Amino acid sequence: MDDFLKPTFLGSIVFLTRTYLTYHLSFKKKFAHIGGTPRTWGIQNIDVFGPNIRIGKNCVFAAGRGDRTTITTFRMNGHEGAIDIGDNVLLMSGIRLSSASKIQVGDDCMLANRCYLTDADWHDIYDRTQPVGRTAPIILEKGVWIGDSAIVCKGVRVGENSIVGAGAVVRRDIPSNVIAVGNPAKVVKKLDPKKVVLMSDLYRRIDEWKRRGR
């Protein structure tokens, strides 16, 4: 049994050491601001590049092997991107955030595997040698959930607590407290905001549990 457990223990030590060093020597330096140390799985699979990238407290990155998570801002042709990620945000494997103006991810949002948020066309419609093309901010309000492989295009605001279904393409604003699906995304159901439980509620319970000394 000892021979079986030994490689697992050593592997865990190597993994934790590599994660610690990667975080302190490289990862955290790529952000303009970090509200608190994020929880990260697969930190080697997360690419952060560009100016004006900020994250809040209690953020969780779950980056699977073979599906790189990329958070990127660009400064070119008079444009300068910015990505602001709020508190208690869950960012899953393979997501892509690309900004030439601004992407704002509100508190308690959840971004599922391989979803894509882009605030620009990245080329002019006619002169395709010219980046960045048209650009307009994206805003996800508090508690938004973007489903697996969904795409949120430039100039879109998704309202509080709303869910964008898997594979949807969002080209127009989505109101609060609804589920929207399809291409182009359309509202198919209303949500009761009184029943929504967010990540901040979980962290509040954890803090209460710690204060009680349990």
Tell me the C-alpha distance between 171 and 169, whole Å.
6
Mean pLDDT of 156-182: 98
Say if CB 103 and CB 97 are below 8 A apart.
Answer: yes
Instruction: Indicate the pLDDT class of residue 6, thresholds 50, 70 and 90.
Output: low
Q: What is the mean pLDDT of the chain?
A: 92
Q: What is the pLDDT of residues 79-115, one digit of tens each?
A: 999 999 999 999 999 999 999 999 999 999 999 999 9
Query: Please, which contacts does 181-186 make with residues 24 or more away whose CB atoms are closer than 8 Å?
Result: 185/150
Does residue 4 register a pLDDT over 70? no
**How high is the pLDDT of residue 3?**
54
Residues with Cβ < 8 Å from 203, sequence gap 6 or more?
A: 58, 88
Domain boundaries, the chain: 31-211
Strand order in the sheet with 138-140: 33-34, 53-55, 83-85, 103-105, 138-140, 157-158
Tell me the C-alpha distance between 136 and 156, whole Å.
8
Residues designated as active site: 123
Q: What is the pLDDT of residues 34-51, one digit of tens each?
A: 999 999 999 999 999 999
Instruction: Indicate the pLDDT class of residue 11, thresholds 50, 70 and 90.
Output: confident
Does residue 1 register a pLDDT over 70? no
Q: Is the dihedral of CA 49, 51, 52, 57 positive or negative?
A: positive
Residue of 66, 69, 41, 71 lying closest to 53 (CA atoms) = 71
Residue with tokens 């882009």: 118
Tell me the C-alpha distance between 20 and 22, whole Å.
6
Retrieve residue 140's tokens. Answer: 């996800």
* Pairing mode, strands 39-41 and 169-170: unpaired
What is the number of alpha carbons within 13 Å of residue 120 lying toward its C-beta?
24
At the fourth CATH level, which superfamily is domain 31-211?
Hexapeptide repeat proteins (2.160.10.10)
